[in-house]
Chains A and B, each alone.
Chain A
Amino acid sequence: MNVMLNLRALKGRAYPRMIGAVREPSWMFWETFLPILSMAAYVYVYRSLDAPKEFEGFVILGGVMTTYWMNVLWGMASQLYWEKETANLQLYLAAPMSKMSILAGMALGGMFSTSVRCISIIVMGVIIFKVDFVVTNAGLLLGIFGVTLVALYGMGMVFASLFLMWGREAWHLNMIMEEPIYFLSGYSFPVKALGSLSLFATVIPFTLGLDAMRQLTFPSMATQWGLVSPHLELVILLVMSIILLYLARVSLDRMERMGRSKGTLTMRWQ
């Protein structure tokens, strides 16, 4: 594997994403301002029910993690399909770099706008909703956050090839990967409330990540609502990351192989 080549390819694909965000500032409205509104609605649901303040903080953290999830779905999972539709995929495939660096480039390039949104969410949480984050172990928090992202984007890569093989308009699939996944992962509530279902929900990487981050920022709720200890969650997430990255590689290869034999890699609109 040629490291320089793949780093350059990654940079090459990240660049349009960053430039795009700068050149088309309308994303600020669509991808930051508006989505924050729907999230704020969940905060008000808790207010209307006189829930403890910490639950509002749960929503804020859920908002941060689902932002990455959205980026995984819309900026990555559906992207190979979209690249095919715009005639770029064949050039990507005929080029010598690993397809993973293309996907990683998309993710990193999209990280700029995603992070702007996340920071806005947190700022809004602290300033408008007056949520009190009590960070007890910043190192562990950051570690869990980072590993969760790796697992999440690894899953995105798997999806990218699955969506392409599926051959259907990828946003049909994205659509059902939103609310149902929000529910399973406990976007706006502690996932422990799902009981045994929460065990099943942990296949979604940010379920555990979110649960751990909530324990580490709202320690008063940790004993009642925490799933397992954050340290254990970190270990599980690490294992998941490795498995998902491996799966990503395998599925990208499979996708390419299958596409080449069926002749679907270069056909549009199907």
Chain B
Amino acid sequence: MAVRSSMWLEYQIEANWTSPVIFILYNTLKPVGGSLLLLAMYYVVTGGFLGGESLYFLYIGNAFYMLVAQTLFNVGWIIHDDREHYQTMKYIYISPLSYFMYLMGRSAMRFLLSLLPLSVLIFLGVFLKIPYHIEVLLLLGTFFLGWIFVISSGLLLSGINMLTARHGNSVGQAFSGIFYLFSGVVFPINVLPGWASKAALGMPSTYWFSLVRRSVLGKEVDSIMSGFTTGEVAVRLIIISVLFFVISYLTFRLADYLARKKGILDMTTTY
């Protein structure tokens, strides 16, 4: 019930303010822009050639990254918006609906809504002649694990937001940059300096993006990640995701406690 109503709220805020056409346009312009940016980079380096493994790698990685980025972009606002804009945080907080479940519901809805631009990008990939080789079951499992990963990140971010000021920029967007750089999204992780590619192996997102490539392209080209079988990647992802969720959850709880202790649940911090 709690989750349902917060999902409904997210839908109202994010989708129900305009016509479906504008909604789709508005939600796909950003991801499409991001993909075009990468394609242009590829284009200038190869001297006008758009094809090859590296291109498919970065195109698919970037498309699925949008799922992470868009969800976090929105989740990054929830706390600050509820607290300082609508000033409803304290009312939601004292309602029987747990704030945790509320956040879960809102991020779940956003995740679902972000599937739309993702499918647009996958469709556009056909024009790039991306050799799709979709393993449906694996892809479904990947979506589910991805969702766990994204809501864990959202929870961690929300915990931090409870204690920090509202800055101008979207903190969610900045936060997702960590995953963009350290998870082999648009380039293989062996390009990173040694310490960073080791760190990448500790991130759930690295395994998730590997699963994405395996389920959409039917293979893994990242030289480090292809050392693992699909099963190994999945198991590692599950273990690290569970750990990540627990850490995020505990952080959120701690932040929640500290916020009440410091009396900053309803602070306003604009400047």
Contacts and interface: CB of A to CB of B under 8 A. Distances in A.
Q: Per the CB under 8 Å rule, do A and B touch in the complex? A: yes
Contact of A44 (B54, B169, B176, B187): B187
B165 interface: yes
B33 A31 contact: no
Contact of A193 (B17, B40, B171, B175): B40
A41 B271 contact: no
Interface stretch (A3-11, A151-159, A176-184): A176-184
Given A172-B26, A193-B43, A178 B84 contact: no
Contacts of A74: 168-170
B151 interface: no
B232 to A, nearest CB: 24
Contacts of A12: none
B42 A26 contact: no
Given A180-B29, A183-B40, A30 B167 contact: yes
A259 interface: no
Contact of A179 (B33, B43, B58, B178): B33
Interface stretch (A45-53, A119-127, A228-236, A247-255): A45-53
Most buried by A among B29, B85, B168, B191: B168
B44 A193 contact: yes
A56 to B, nearest CB: 11
Contact of B191 (A37, A48, A78, A180): A48
A34 B168 contact: no
B33 A182 contact: yes
Contacts, number: 152
Interface string A68-84: 00110011001100100
A171 interface: yes
A45 B186 contact: yes
A48 B189 CA distance: 9
A126 to B, nearest CB: 17
Interface string B11-30: 00000010000000010011
B188 A31 contact: no
Contact of A175 (B73, B171, B188): B73
A175 B37 contact: no
Determine the main DSSP class of A at the interface with B. Answer: helix
Interface residues of A, number: 58
A44 B43 CA distance: 16
Contacts of B115: none
B270 interface: yes
A238 interface: no
- Name the residue in A48, A181, A189 with the highest tally of chain B Cβ atoms < 10 Å from its Cβ: A48
Contact of B177 (A24, A41, A110, A225): A41
B17 A34 contact: no
B186 A178 contact: no
Contacts of A17: 271
B139 interface: no
Contacts of B43: 189, 193
Given A24-B167, A179-B31, A46 B45 contact: yes
A187 B37 contact: yes
A42 interface: yes
A177 B46 CA distance: 28
A40 B181 contact: yes
B9 to A, nearest CB: 14
Given A24-B167, A26-B164, A26-B167, A35 B177 contact: yes
Contacts of A30: 164, 167, 169, 171, 174-175
Q: Which 5 A-B pairs have the closest CB atoms?
A: A20-B271, A179-B33, A180-B33, A38-B177, A34-B174
Given A30-B174, A188-B41, 9 more contacts: A20-B271, A41-B180, A46-B45, A48-B191, A86-B85, A175-B26, A175-B30, A176-B30, A188-B37
